[in-house]
Amino acid sequence: MTPERERRRIMSCEAARARRRAESQVLIDMSQLLPLPSSLRPQLDKPSIIRLTISYLRIHTLLSGFADRQTWERRDEEGERDTWE
**pLDDT of 3-17, one tens digit each?**
999 999 999 999 999
**The pLDDT of residue 80:** 56
Q: Which residue has the higher pLDDT, 45 or 85?
A: 45
Alpha-carbon span 39 to 68, nearest angstrom: 34
Mean pLDDT of the chain: 84
80 close to 65: Cβ distance less than 8 angstroms: no
Q: Where are the domains of the chain?
A: 3-73
52 close to 34: Cβ distance less than 8 angstroms: yes
Percent of the chain with pLDDT over 70: 78
The per-residue pLDDT for range 37-56, each reduced to its tens digit, is 989 988 999 999 999 999 99
